[in-house]
Structure 1
Amino acid sequence: MEILEEDELEELVIPIWHTELEGLRLHVVLRWSIVVFLLAGFILSVLSLFSGVLSRTENNLRALKIWVVDFDGSMSPYDDIEPIIGPIITDIIMEDFSSARQSPTLIQCTPHSFQNDSMAVRQAVYEEQVYAAVIINANATSSLQAAVTSGSPSYDPLGIAQIVYNSARDENTYYAYIIPTLFQLQTKVITKFGPRWIEMMRSNGSLNDPRIPTQALSPSIGFTEIDLRPFSPAVVTPSVSIGLIYLIIIAYFAFPFLMPIHNRLNNKRQGRPVKASHMLLWRLMSNFVAYFILSFFYSLIPLAFGIPFSNPRGSTTEVIMNGNEYGKSSFVVYWMLNWVGMTALGLPSENMAMIIGAPWSALWLTFWVISNVSTGFYPLDLAPGFYKWGYIWPLHRVVEGSRTILFGTHSRIGLDFGVLFGWVGVSILLFPFAAAIADWKAVSKKK
């Protein structure tokens, strides 16, 4: 083999502006321009999905509903007392908050809508019919008047009303919008109620009665906060948010790791190639088994960090900390959800990788992550209407199902699994076509 000297090698190379490269240079610049502008278009269209889901959050805050229900004097044995406290509190709330813009909507409801049962309101909050509820208790007027007339030192202002919410439903929305609104509501009600109550006491001559307990004069009323399903502990956060991105990434990268192993079955040096139908069946079944194993180890992470998986479900109208929906079987259900979720996320990625190939499959992964994160981690109630498709996106259903299993929130587990199985089914149907396209591209490349 002849080895070229350095000066001879220099004679073989030419500068990039050489006339000999004129046609090739134009071709390279054209291809470069096409790729760059395709990437630019991808940035504008796909990366905008993330910003778009938050673009109308403040304008859509009215979509967050808070009920105000006054049970004061609405049931026995308090229905023979003229309600005073409940109507005043309700008037203050509706006067200050009903017309407020860029804030949750407060809706006044009658106790008859709930058969005069405050527990029915709690149940509605648990079932996610509404984000929160302000309940004025049936004995509000009775208990405060009794404290004034009898001088009972056991009077508790917090027994006048209750605020019910469910932070495990969506901790970000609650901590950012619902709970601050409820705090403002409490502050304004207590601030405005005090002078009215003192004036009422002065008008009937009770203000100077030494028997009246101090708490019946100030603050006189209060609110008991009831978080039916608290979002806790903090270590659970990755299991219902950013940690779920790992499901997408692991499922995606399983394909390039496993594909060389699959190809050995079609390597003529190893023997006669496997029938095409059997090859497809092998690849699908091996994917299911791989996702089954990988999802198990993924599910072990929250278990290893102390997140409970064996607590009883508990009452839907009482505060339950980490009430697991399926008791001691919750870990198995959680594992199955992650398995089906990983399959629903992974099979479409494998199909796209076969259809478009490298390096374009990286753009698919970017789109798949952004579209799932945008619709899975952020409240669609506050998103523009365009994002309604997010309700059937895989990660949204995995997040919803995980919250049910880990916190005992309102269950839609049948819908969650149903949507995920739908993705799996469609991906299986498309799998042979994607494989055929990949084979055709491989043959064309060899030619």
Structure 2
Amino acid sequence: MNGSSMEKSGSGAAHSTPTPTPTTPTTYNSDDKPFSHGVFDSDPATVSARKGWLKISFFGMVVLCFMIWGVLPIYWAALGRSSNNIHNLSGFVVDFDGGEIGQAVTQAFQNISSPQQVSWVIVDAAQFPNGPDDVAQALLDHRCWVAVTINPGASTNLNASINAINASYNASQAVTAYTTTGRNENIYRGSITPQVSSILTTISYTFALNFSQRLASTPNISTLLGTAPELVVQPMAFMIEDLRPFNVPVASAVDFVGLIYLLIVAFVLTTQLLVARAETGFGRRLTLRSLILVRLLWPIILYFFVSLMFSLLSVAFGVPFDRKFGHAGYVVYWMMSWCAMTALGLALESMITILTIKFIPAFLILWIISNVSVAFYPIEVLPAVFRYGFAMPFYNVSSTVRTIIFDTKNEIGLNFGVQFAWILISCVTLPIFQWIVRRREVKAWEASQNAAREKV
């Protein structure tokens, strides 16, 4: 009986510990073995993979061709058509002299009419009771893009110098042209300043010819030529006074080119967050509400620190943020960079939901081009379709930077408002897109569960 019990016990032990079976090496069909085929092999698996590869490759090429002709022309049009719309920029001409110099200058500007020239407006000097200083302030208030003043007493000073044969006469004090290159250095460098200089040079030359002919009949002409020849050969000249000069070359890194990098940094962070949710499975574990909150709030927190590093980079390379608001200028720029990065990045965060990682690069190109196109030249000289630029993140960052560094017109409140508007749009679209994608994911998961149950 004991033996029987032991036998049963041994039998039970034998059944509770299964004997291991030797593992057999995985075998591959010669047609399916990986890492062993050429590009043009004719086995079914390679043929199928090759067709899929070609299909995706050609589709990608078609998308790029569409982007080249559908998106890049936005930037080409912004640069190529600007010279035809210079007339959208206004220039003031104000005669505080009332004499022959004033009449010669105003008449010359009245005769200028070309779509490739600034639209010159002759403004009554009575509108500027404080003289040229008021005209300069009008320019700083963005009432015009350039201003020319025929200064008080210009003709009187010239005639008095002729009578006194004054060798110290300074012809350049007769006319002053005011500019503000810090407002947009590209349009001033390429169009406005060369035009003003060319026009005033021509006026000066013409006036000198007419004036010298008049002086030729005066009895003291030889004395004038010997003592004060400038009164004869150049009785009128001008000077260009740049009220807000673009004298910080590195500023281009924060008011134009650097904005592209700001957007690229936001894009990199967006893709990293997507990969983090996918590889960890964290996104699939969260409820819809929790996922939306994470996708909206977590990037904003990260942008706060990334924008700080981005802003400090400009400080390290000598960008003077203290010209307008003192030390607070840097904080204003940092906050604007944070808001702009949030506006740009959340738009990417929203679109990557519906476009997926495969197509988000196409949106990135559109997002960059549509912003860059309105930040290089003034929107006023671009075709009418580019009026959308006033509401774009890049344009408003550039406006804030120019105010901080070059003391141009202060519209920072409006600039921040535009960024907040873009952030609000993303706060609406991202939940909608995420809800659509989550419904698809839930349906796919339920279908897989039903299929699994049917197999059992």
Same fold (TM over 0.5): yes
After superposition, the Cα gap between the structure-2 partners of 1:111 and 1:415, relative to the gap in structure 1 and judged at 3 Å, is same
How far apart are the structure 1 equivalents of 2:435 and 2:31? 50
Alignment of 1:86-235 (within 5 A): 86-95=102-111, 98-115=112-129, 117-210=131-224, 213-235=228-250
Q: Which amino acid letter does the alignment assign opposite residue 173 of structure 2?
A: G
How far apart are the structure 2 equivalents of 1:183 and 1:251? 43
The two structures have a TM-score, normalised by structure 2, of 0.83
Decide whether the 8 Å contact of 1:198 with 1:217 is kept in 2: yes
- TM-superposition CA deviations, 1:246-275 (whole Å, max 9, x none): 11111111122234445688649xxx9454
How far apart are the structure 2 equivalents of 1:8 and 1:200? 100
| Corresponding position of 1:238 | 253
> 1:166: Cα distance to partner?
0.6
Aligned match for 1:255, one of 236, 254, 270: 270
After superposition, the Cα gap between the structure-2 partners of 1:4 and 1:435, relative to the gap in structure 1 and judged at 3 Å, is closer
After superposition, the Cα gap between the structure-2 partners of 1:246 and 1:445, relative to the gap in structure 1 and judged at 3 Å, is farther
SS in 2 for 1:163: strand
SS in 2 for 1:179: helix
| Corresponding position of 1:401 | 400
Q: Which amino acid letter does the alignment assign opposite residue 410 of structure 1?
A: K
How far apart are the structure 2 equivalents of 1:207 and 1:89? 25
Q: Which consecutive residues of structure 1, in runs of 5 or more, have no partner in the other structure?
A: 74-82, 311-323
Q: Which amino acid letter does the alignment assign opposite residue 397 of structure 2?
A: V
SS in 1 for 2:396: helix
- TM-superposition CA deviations, 1:289-348 (whole Å, max 9, x none): 1111111111112211112122xxxxxxxxxxxxx3322210010111111111111101
How far apart are the structure 1 equivalents of 2:114 and 2:428? 51
Aligned match for 1:37, one of 55, 62, 70: 62
| Corresponding position of 1:314 | none
How far apart are the structure 2 equivalents of 1:377 and 1:56? 13
After superposition, the Cα gap between the structure-2 partners of 1:40 and 1:263, relative to the gap in structure 1 and judged at 3 Å, is closer
The number of aligned residues is: 419
User: Is 1:370–2:369 an aligned residue pair?
Assistant: yes
SS in 2 for 1:138: coil
How far apart are the structure 1 equivalents of 2:290 and 2:277? 12
> 1:34: Cα distance to partner?
5.2
How far apart are the structure 1 equivalents of 2:31 and 2:299? 56
How far apart are the structure 1 equivalents of 2:433 and 2:409? 38
> 1:36: Cα distance to partner?
4.1
User: Is 1:62–2:87 an aligned residue pair?
Assistant: yes
Alignment of 1:406-417 (within 5 A): 406-417=405-416
Q: Which amino acid letter does the alignment assign opposite residue 184 of structure 1?
A: S
Decide whether the 8 Å contact of 1:148 with 1:212 is kept in 2: no
SS in 2 for 1:376: coil
How far apart are the structure 1 equivalents of 2:338 and 2:32? 62
How far apart are the structure 1 equivalents of 2:431 and 2:234? 71
Aligned match for 1:280, one of 284, 287, 292: 292
How far apart are the structure 1 equivalents of 2:334 and 2:434? 29
How far apart are the structure 1 equivalents of 2:115 and 2:423? 43
How far apart are the structure 2 equivalents of 1:382 and 1:39? 29
| Corresponding position of 2:18 | none
Q: Which amino acid letter does the alignment assign opposite residue 339 of structure 1?
A: W
After superposition, the Cα gap between the structure-2 partners of 1:55 and 1:225, relative to the gap in structure 1 and judged at 3 Å, is closer
Decide whether the 8 Å contact of 2:184 with 2:378 is kept in 1: yes
SS in 2 for 1:167: coil
How far apart are the structure 2 equivalents of 1:303 and 1:278? 38
How far apart are the structure 2 equivalents of 1:66 and 1:273? 62
| Corresponding position of 1:356 | 355
Aligned match for 2:72, one of 41, 47, 50: 47
Q: Which amino acid letter does the alignment assign opposite residue 71 of structure 1?
A: F
User: Is 1:84–2:100 an aligned residue pair?
Assistant: yes
> 1:152: Cα distance to partner?
3.3
State the Cα RMSD in Å.
3.1
Decide whether the 8 Å contact of 1:295 with 1:339 is kept in 2: yes
After superposition, the Cα gap between the structure-2 partners of 1:429 and 1:110, relative to the gap in structure 1 and judged at 3 Å, is same
SS in 2 for 1:375: coil
Q: Which consecutive residues of structure 2, in runs of 5 or more, have no partner in the other structure?
A: 1-24, 449-456
How far apart are the structure 2 equivalents of 1:99 and 1:290? 53
> 1:203: Cα distance to partner?
3.8
The two structures have a TM-score, normalised by structure 1, of 0.84
Identity of aligned residues (%): 29
After superposition, the Cα gap between the structure-2 partners of 1:6 and 1:33, relative to the gap in structure 1 and judged at 3 Å, is closer
> 1:84: Cα distance to partner?
1.8
How far apart are the structure 2 equivalents of 1:7 and 1:303? 61
45-54 or 419-428, which moves further after superposition? 45-54
191-200 or 354-363, which moves further after superposition? 191-200
- TM-superposition CA deviations, 1:66-91 (whole Å, max 9, x none): 22211104xxxxxxxxx222112322
